[in-house]
Structure 1
Amino acid sequence: MTTSHQSNRLANEKSPYLLQHQYNPVDWFPWSEEAFEIAKLENKPIFLSIGYSTCHWCHVMAHESFEDQTVANMLNKDFISIKVDREERPDVDHIYMAVCQAMTGQGGWPLTVFLTPEKKPFFAGTYFPRSRKYNRSGLVEIIAQMAAKWKEDAERIREVGEQVMQETTSRLLEHRTGGEVTEETLHEAFRLYESTFDPANGGFGSSPKFPTAHNLSFLLRYYHKTGKEKALEMVEKTLDAMHRGGMYDHIGFGFSRYSVDERWLVPHFEKMLYDNALLVMTYIEAYQVTGKEKYAEVAEQIITYVLRDMTDEGGGFYSAEDADSEGEEGRFYVWTPDEIEVVLGVEDGDLYSELYDITESGNYEGHNIPNLIDTTLASVAKRKQIPLQELKHRLEAARVKLFEHREQRVHPGKDDKILTSWNGLMIAALSKAACALDKPVYAEAAAKAADFLLRELRREDGRLLARYRDGEAAYLGYVDDYAFLVWGLIELYEATFELRYLREAVQLNAEMLRLFGDEEKGGLYFYGSDAEQLLTRPKEIYDGATPSGNGAAALNMQRLARLTYDAKLSQAADVQLQAFAGAVAAHPPGHALTLAALDFAYGEASEIVIAGDPAKPLTQQMLRAVRRQYLPNALLILHPPGPAGEEVRKLIPLVQDKLPLGGQATAYVCQNFACQAPTQELEDLENLSK
């Protein structure tokens, strides 16, 4: 394995992933017209490699192949090699991942695609070892074969590329528009979730298991709507199991991306901002539904992790932390009994090891991932005859010592780019936590992040950008950037009642419809009409690791239309739901956020207006009474007196006639376009979720 001492073109990039490859002997290009022009001029095919900085198998392939001089020589001789960060260019990744899935039946990263100079794909796969092993073809052999085929008959390869792209385009653009989404779609989704639920371990399906928090959020909505206990049982079982497992970092907090086994023990150790944001929201919602403090504690621990380790001094949030450190996956996170004893001493070390499954034989490649899968604090407290509160105190003291010790280890790499879309999710999460837990500090962090995005990730003409790093904002924002930021701003308005955030949400939503909307068939394209036009322009509706931008937009539009009384937006919200009706009806569990929008549209949505001076105790008590409850289809509005109230009335017409009675804070609860009698009694607000 060799690494060039001379940097390649990637040295001029900002992406941490591209910079990881700047000293490869491969003559990499970033995705650019220059690369394709040279490929056409020299009549060479393209070797396209897509990944991201915290991807374990991307690192493996880089070390095995892209640092190898033989591989580099082969690529440099016969190909134009392009490296893409999927988190900066999800549009490019989306299209070629669809190609890989169509050609091979599977996908993942690193994504490896061979293209014609016209960007048409003719071969695709994921990770390839340098030479044949694991029953997988070797990259050396594949490169040689592709080069030979191109030289033998480039025109035939171009024909193959054209055919592959036509089939992929057809697949990407094939959204079932026929059919109708109704409340029955919600019931069918529940039945399908139930059919794949793992009652022994929580979660859905078998290994690997992903948190997919938005699915759990839908089930909480469904429980709230129908009272079906099974929906709540599935959520609680999964949330408890994920937290007890090794997928949760019991020492430093935060969740890893997924579990490789069905018991949630062994994680893929990378931590992603989007997972942790979505899980904060779901644990907060579970706390609101059940009143169980343990869910609030988990949410606060995740927030502690994000604010401590993943927050830029400007207020934005970093993207991810790597699975690897010192060349090994998970090395930063695992322990031996001897290490535990050195840090904690014999007595507390034995106690911690017994509780957290730290053994001589290990539970992961001879080492140990701390977990609570097979034990509970209550059972250990009873067996050891230690009062439960004393045990909790001792374990927290032990955790702090272990955390401080672990901090001295070599840390995994951190992807410190700031993505608008994922930051939007974290802003939403912090805002929801601020409301439910009455923690204004979380709203302050959300506001700082929102202000950073609105200041640093917008051009002078208002166009949203996707990525910020090292002083540079770049890449025209995608539909996820708009939809997730609008989501965050709506939640931030409800957490702070600063009207400017709601105004920004309305403005960005209008711009999103203009740039991404399909006036003919409805729905939103993945990239804007002003962006680089790729081989096809897809729409994404399926919820994967993150919800789809179309799903988030559907819910945003329902909420904004109800707040602003905007008839055109209300119509657009309905069109958004109908645009993908066939796809949603065909597989409801794959569209959790669209189902939430459907529930909002067809369910019992309500508006709650608190008219009063926010500085007065009764006003604050009323706000707290509403915020601590689980009211997924409610809009909470503060109507203050004076000039501030005039501004609210301009943007939110429904507050017009809702004033404090007798100078005292007054609550107005409206449901299904009918309002109850105004009230000044806290008790009337405390049972709205019943």
Structure 2
Amino acid sequence: MTMAPAGNRLGDATSPYLRQHAENPVHWQQWSDEAFAEARERDVPVLLSVGYAACHWCHVMAHESFEDPALAAQMNDGFVCIKVDREERPDIDAIYMAATVAMTGQGGWPMTCFLTPDAEPFYCGTYYPPVPRGGMPGFGQILAAISSTWTERRDEVHRASESITEHLRANAGPVPPGPGIDGRLLAAAVAAVLADEDPRAAGFGGAPKFPPSALLEGLLRAAELGGDREALAASERACAAMARGGIYDQLAGGFARYAVDADWVVPHFEKMLYDNALLLRAYAHLARRTGDPLAARITAETVGFLDDALWTGRGYASSLDADTDGVEGLTYVWTPAQLRQILGDDDGAWAATLFTVTDDGTFENGTSTLQLPADPDDAERFASVRVRLLAARAERPQPARDDKVVVVWNALAVTALAEAGAALHRPEWVERAAVTAEAIWSLHLVDGVLRRASLGGRVGEPLAALDDHAALATALLTLHQITGENPWRDRGLEVLDLAIDRFADAEAPGAWFDAPGGSLITRPRDPVDGATPAGASLMAEALLTASMLAPESQAARYGELADQTLTRAGLILEKMPRSAGHWLAVALARLAGPLQVAVAQTPDSDGALAAQARRLAPGGTVVVAGARDASPLLEGRGPVDGADAAYVCRGTVCALPVTDAQALADGLVLASTT
């Protein structure tokens, strides 16, 4: 067998995270059959390192260990070294994170795993310092111990790898069907979530505190479809607390990944596309439902952040780093003296009070993050201060951006932009959603196969996962609803059919694999909603939406699969509802009928009734508008007495058509509470 060439082989990667390691003296290579063949030929273990571009401790370990010539030589001599971007290969990340948690009781990134040449893990951990520190062994010690064990006690290695691989495979089965999803189960799930609310600082749980992104949409639907006023109040409190805290960028918009404290003051400064896409949907939903000016402002500013900070020209970039020049928060934090220097004494003192910038500091070394406990009385002065501070901040060093375009996160952004634009009368947001969807479709669908990520217009080799397919299907179907253009529907159904063919578990109806089939040691699946919705819960949403938009010959199949998929969510909703936010949102929509509004329009329609339908309809409602017979929901339905007419249906039961906004509002209230 021919040996692979020596040296670092990451320079041509389509992942910026991998390219960040292309100058390491480590002989990194990407995950491939060739890498494992080299390990077998050299008779050495594989050192697998998994991380992502915005990860602070990934950068720390890279600087401390992977740039160190002595440690790199130790890695090169004793191992085949593989680097994986978890965002590009979530399947690999899921398998070995499960192994890491099983072995150590905890996980995180960077993830460091040692594998046999058959890819079976036998020792796993996360960050290791270069030398012993804080009770942790040094990375060089770990490398030496693994090499010694591999050489001298190979039988122990194989026993460990066989044991953990058997554990992974035993736990890779589908979640069994749980209790039936009915109003009682969903009400209990909402009540359990609300019982975990932080009564002082809002949100759920303690430090570190993450934005309850998918959960917010579920709670808002519980308010609209179930009449749960406390669910709405909790959503309003969480949204207000985050918007006014340090986790939100008070100058340029956009949310950081989480707060390290329970009060939303100090963020972990990385900004992820997926958080901002999911939160955009929730804030737009809240603004549409309540008219809250804060929610409306945050919605618009979050769109601005996406366009200004993450737009690549071919989709949205994945993230902004937590670090700037190796220092967390360097770009974003302030002292009172800095504010006075930029704004002058009067405005500087005013801004310090307004943004809670103190002499002692709320962050590190006497610096403060910017918070906004209350809106100022002087809006013009506030706008001037923000503009000047943002200009000054632009002169500082800036965090790096991961320009990788990931299908699922862009799809979440498309759905949020389209819904926000339609509900809040911002057609330019709908247009941005369409441009993004077209960019994803034209580049990432290659010979009928969806690819997960691209960089600079070059699509990567890794295949798309279940969540990519499901989120993209929903995004395309959303664009169809809002634009009335049938090609978006046809594309959405095409992607959905691809997902069904490639990810359905033939032996367990309603269960789904997260990754394509292949040569990995197990095929991962995780139906629990995390920082992003689970692939299976996204699939439930796509199927439910398709069941109302597809031609009759296809609709029944999608509806049956949606119901089978939701059946698998019963145990999650019952046992861990805080990790079932997207499931809750989809289940509530299903229990409501689901609701559909078809607006039959006249040739000279001004679109006002359709706009009202999109503003008034509860989340999860399918709304279409167009001429008679323009879509399955408009078959045989036309205007009434020369005016646009709205047909409101709950499941298969429809009310008489209405032609004015008040009658439509009354009909939606009746349909959503019946």
Q: Secondary structure at the match of 2:275?
A: helix
Runs of 4+ in 1 over 4 A off after TM superposition: none
Number of the residue aligned with 2:459: 473
Number of the residue aligned with 1:352: 351
Distance 1:242 1:192, change over 3 A: same
Partner Cα separation in structure 2 for residue 630 and residue 199 of structure 1:
30
After TM superposition, give the deviation of residue 615 of structure 1 in Å.
Answer: 4.7
Number of the residue aligned with 2:193: 193
Number of the residue aligned with 2:446: 459
2:664 aligned partner, one-letter code? L
Kept after mapping to 2: 8 A contact 1:7/1:23 = no
Number of the residue aligned with 1:180: 180
1:376 alignment partner, one of 338, 356, 374: 374
* 2:622 pairs with 1:639: no
After TM superposition, give the deviation of residue 666 of structure 1 in Å.
Answer: 1.7
2:319 aligned partner, one-letter code? A
Q: Secondary structure at the match of 2:205?
A: coil
2:508 alignment partner, one of 512, 521, 525: 521
1:465 aligned partner, one-letter code? R
Partner Cα separation in structure 1 for residue 601 and residue 388 of structure 2:
48
* 2:336 pairs with 1:334: no
Partner Cα separation in structure 1 for residue 411 and residue 199 of structure 2:
33
Q: Secondary structure at the match of 1:202?
A: coil
Number of the residue aligned with 1:25: 25
After TM superposition, give the deviation of residue 630 of structure 1 in Å.
Answer: 4.7
Number of the residue aligned with 2:433: 446
1:616 alignment partner, one of 601, 605, 620: 605
Kept after mapping to 1: 8 A contact 2:7/2:27 = no
* 2:568 pairs with 1:579: yes
1:601-680 equivalences in 2 (<5 Å):
601-613=590-602, 615-617=604-606, 620-640=607-627, 646=629, 648-649=630-631, 652=632, 654-680=633-659
Distance 1:580 1:210, change over 3 A: same
Kept after mapping to 2: 8 A contact 1:431/1:446 = yes
Q: Secondary structure at the match of 1:124?
A: strand
Partner Cα separation in structure 2 for residue 611 and residue 239 of structure 1:
36
Kept after mapping to 1: 8 A contact 2:7/2:26 = no
1:594 aligned partner, one-letter code? W
1:637 aligned partner, one-letter code? V
After TM superposition, give the deviation of residue 182 of structure 1 in Å.
Answer: 2.8
Partner Cα separation in structure 2 for residue 662 and residue 204 of structure 1:
51
1:426 aligned partner, one-letter code? A
After TM superposition, give the deviation of residue 582 of structure 1 in Å.
Answer: 3.4
- Is 113-122 or 490-499 further displaced after alignment? 490-499
After TM superposition, give the deviation of residue 508 of structure 1 in Å.
Answer: 0.8
- Is 253-262 or 21-30 further displaced after alignment? 21-30
1:366 aligned partner, one-letter code? N
- Is 244-253 or 628-637 further displaced after alignment? 628-637
Q: Secondary structure at the match of 1:657?
A: coil
After TM superposition, give the deviation of residue 667 of structure 1 in Å.
Answer: 1.7
After TM superposition, give the deviation of residue 418 of structure 1 in Å.
Answer: 0.5
Number of the residue aligned with 2:577: 588
* 2:264 pairs with 1:264: yes
Partner Cα separation in structure 1 for residue 177 and residue 665 of structure 2:
42
Number of the residue aligned with 1:279: 279
* 2:530 pairs with 1:544: yes
After TM superposition, give the deviation of residue 165 of structure 1 in Å.
Answer: 1.0
Number of the residue aligned with 1:89: 89
Q: Secondary structure at the match of 2:446?
A: coil
Number of the residue aligned with 1:683: 662
* 2:498 pairs with 1:511: yes
Distance 1:163 1:604, change over 3 A: same
Partner Cα separation in structure 1 for residue 454 and residue 86 of structure 2:
15
After TM superposition, give the deviation of residue 348 of structure 1 in Å.
Answer: 1.0
After TM superposition, give the deviation of residue 58 of structure 1 in Å.
Answer: 0.1
Kept after mapping to 1: 8 A contact 2:333/2:370 = no
1:552 aligned partner, one-letter code? L
Q: Secondary structure at the match of 1:10?
A: coil
1:171-320 equivalences in 2 (<5 Å):
171-173=171-173, 175-314=175-314, 316-320=315-319
Distance 1:57 1:688, change over 3 A: farther
Number of the residue aligned with 1:436: 423
Partner Cα separation in structure 2 for residue 281 and residue 44 of structure 1:
48
Partner Cα separation in structure 1 for residue 587 and residue 248 of structure 2:
32
Number of the residue aligned with 2:3: none
Kept after mapping to 1: 8 A contact 2:265/2:371 = no
Partner Cα separation in structure 1 for residue 557 and residue 316 of structure 2:
34
- Is 667-676 or 478-487 further displaced after alignment? 667-676
Report sequence identity in percent. Answer: 34
After TM superposition, give the deviation of residue 308 of structure 1 in Å.
Answer: 1.1
* 2:67 pairs with 1:67: yes
Q: Secondary structure at the match of 1:113?
A: strand
Number of the residue aligned with 2:672: none
After TM superposition, give the deviation of residue 228 of structure 1 in Å.
Answer: 2.6
Partner Cα separation in structure 2 for residue 605 and residue 236 of structure 1:
25
Number of the residue aligned with 1:384: none
Q: Secondary structure at the match of 1:265?
A: coil
Kept after mapping to 2: 8 A contact 1:457/1:465 = yes
After TM superposition, give the deviation of residue 332 of structure 1 in Å.
Answer: 0.6
Number of the residue aligned with 2:103: 103
1:548 aligned partner, one-letter code? A
Task: Tell me how many residue pairs correspond in the alignment.
Answer: 659
Please provide the CA RMSD for this pair: 1.7
1:660 aligned partner, one-letter code? P
Q: Secondary structure at the match of 1:610?
A: strand
After TM superposition, give the deviation of residue 178 of structure 1 in Å.
Answer: 4.7
After TM superposition, give the deviation of residue 197 of structure 1 in Å.
Answer: 1.1
After TM superposition, give the deviation of residue 687 of structure 1 in Å.
Answer: 4.2
After TM superposition, give the deviation of residue 7 of structure 1 in Å.
Answer: 6.9
CA shift digits 1:242-292 (9 cap, x unpaired): 111110000111000000000000100000000000000001111122221
Kept after mapping to 1: 8 A contact 2:544/2:559 = yes
After TM superposition, give the deviation of residue 306 of structure 1 in Å.
Answer: 0.6
After TM superposition, give the deviation of residue 299 of structure 1 in Å.
Answer: 0.8
Kept after mapping to 2: 8 A contact 1:521/1:579 = no
After TM superposition, give the deviation of residue 674 of structure 1 in Å.
Answer: 2.1
Kept after mapping to 1: 8 A contact 2:602/2:642 = no
1:127 aligned partner, one-letter code? Y
Distance 1:273 1:496, change over 3 A: same
Q: Secondary structure at the match of 1:492?
A: helix
Q: TM-score, normalised by structure 1?
A: 0.93
Distance 1:377 1:294, change over 3 A: closer
2:661 aligned partner, one-letter code? L
1:410 alignment partner, one of 384, 388, 397: 397
CA shift digits 1:77-123 (9 cap, x unpaired): 11111110111111100110111111111111101111111100011
Q: Secondary structure at the match of 2:449?
A: coil
Kept after mapping to 2: 8 A contact 1:667/1:679 = yes
After TM superposition, give the deviation of residue 136 of structure 1 in Å.
Answer: 2.0
Distance 1:425 1:56, change over 3 A: same
After TM superposition, give the deviation of residue 538 of structure 1 in Å.
Answer: 2.1
Number of the residue aligned with 1:115: 115
Partner Cα separation in structure 1 for residue 178 and residue 342 of structure 2:
63
Number of the residue aligned with 2:168: 168
- Is 129-138 or 278-287 further displaced after alignment? 129-138
Partner Cα separation in structure 2 for residue 604 and residue 567 of structure 1:
14
Q: TM-score, normalised by structure 2?
A: 0.95
Q: Secondary structure at the match of 1:377?
A: coil
Partner Cα separation in structure 2 for residue 552 and residue 116 of structure 1:
34
Structure with larger RCO (C-alpha < 8 A, sep 6+): 2
Q: Secondary structure at the match of 2:611?
A: helix
Structure 2 unmatched ranges of 5 or more: 1-5, 670-674
